[in-house]
Amino acid sequence: MKFSTIILVALRQINEFVAHNGVAPIPNPSAPLPAGQDGLKLSNDPAHPFITPGPDDLRGSCPALNTLANNGYLPRNGVGRPDQIVTAVMEGLNLGNDFAKFLVYQAFLMNSNPLTNLMSIGMKTPLTGQDPPKPALVGGLSQHGTFEGDTSMSRVDAFFGDPAAFNQTRFNDFLSFATKYGANGTYDINATAELRFERPQDSIMTNPQLVFTSPRILSAYSEAVFPLVYFVDGRLNNRQLTQDAGSSFFANQRVPADFHRPPAPVSFEIIEPMVNQIFTKHPFTPGVNHGRNNYVLQPKTPALSDFCRIYGDIVLRVVPGQYPKPTCQLKDALNKNLGFFYDTVKFQHNCTQAFPYDKY
Ligand code: HEM
């Protein structure tokens, strides 16, 4: 098919979609929690009871979002708007507003349906509406090779099975690293540094198709420190996650009884030095396996320390990979979300804004 024909077909699909469904309005991102309401608080409160997810409820690769859905901070069916997800992680776990938006809009650009403004926290689902034209994936957070990637702490690499499903064997390693390296058997910064280093070493030896490049390296390293920040009871707030609390979040996907969120919103300024600390202890270079134990360095992929280039990689390579030439309402929706995403990186990192489509 000629390129112009592809564009016309895509345009027609979007127009038909819009004629049938309309385009969902895109609300502005949620504001920070108001002063005075952003402190220590019981997360497992009567308004947020744990309910075991039903067979049609979607859950995926993120233990935090799964837990927040099981406790009703997120829609229990596992499909939500970005502003709902930002609010849920602020309310339930006291993520700082800019950091919450950074995670959510990043995921949203790779995994959602921009026309309906909906994303699955699990696998692909018709609940996010009719897909925009391919190569858009609208795969949900479980879509491998987008936000989800190899070397997870509690999931297997995609080569070995479902990379979004909790894996007890993997998680047993998490617990044994806490026992071996952490203060009093907790998952602390030392256990984190060792486990985060061991995971790619293990995958290099066993997974012939390992991919450990941008943007996955950033999420892998950030997610490694999240548990000792956001899963530790805010009354202690000592960056030492007990194995019981860890098991509640990871294995049972349930806010522990009497759990209080951190006493103040936690954002880039706390997460990034911790990421830096574990990276400095055991540096690595991004790469991919060409067969088992054949790790080929990828000098063109941004390094973990190069935040602005990782931002540029997402915006100029990953997003246009799914939306090469968006038109009309689809382009407007993407541009709006790209703007929200950029807003979260500009003050913190002073990155130059990247425009995959027209300047807007
Ligand atoms: C705010 C929006 C968030 C989004 C969109 C998100 C998304 C994701 C995704 C896609 C993964 C899978 C990565 C992989 O292992 O391949 C993941 C993993 C993870 N997330 Fe989240 N997440 C969010 C917030 C949080 C928060 C607040 C926490 C707090 C603890 C958290 C903790 C984790 C952890 C620990 C993992 C790693 C699981 C593992 O390696 O086994 N996430 N997240």
For residue 63, how far is its CA from the centre of ligand 1 (angstroms)? 6
Number of structural domains in the chain: 1
Residue 85 falls inside a structural domain = yes
The DSSP bridge pattern shows strands 79-80 and 211-212 to be: unpaired
Residue 356 falls inside a structural domain = no
**pLDDT tens per residue across span 72-94:** 999 999 999 999 999 999 999 99
pLDDT at 84: 97
Please choose from 84, 223, 259 the residue to mutate so as to test ligand 1's pocket, defined by most ligand atoms within 8 A of CB. 223
17 lines ligand 1 (CB under 6 A): no
State the CATH number of the domain containing residue 114. Answer: 1.10.489.10
Residue 128 falls inside a structural domain = yes
Quote the domain boundaries for residue 194: 3-349
Contact 142, 61 (CB under 8 A): yes
Residue 32 falls inside a structural domain = yes
Q: How many helices (H) and strands (E) does the chain have?
A: 12, 5
Residue 316 falls inside a structural domain = yes
Residue 17 falls inside a structural domain = yes
Residue 357 falls inside a structural domain = no
For residue 62, how far is its CA from the centre of ligand 1 (angstroms)? 4
pLDDT at 6: 54
**pLDDT tens per residue across span 275-319:** 999 999 999 999 999 999 999 999 999 999 999 999 999 999 999
Which amino acid appears at position 333 of this protein?
A: A
pLDDT at 23: 78
pLDDT at 7: 54
Q: How far apart are CA 93 and CA 121, in angstroms?
A: 17
Query: What phi, psi does 199 have (nearest 5°)?
Result: -60, -55
3-state DSSP assignment of residue 98: helix
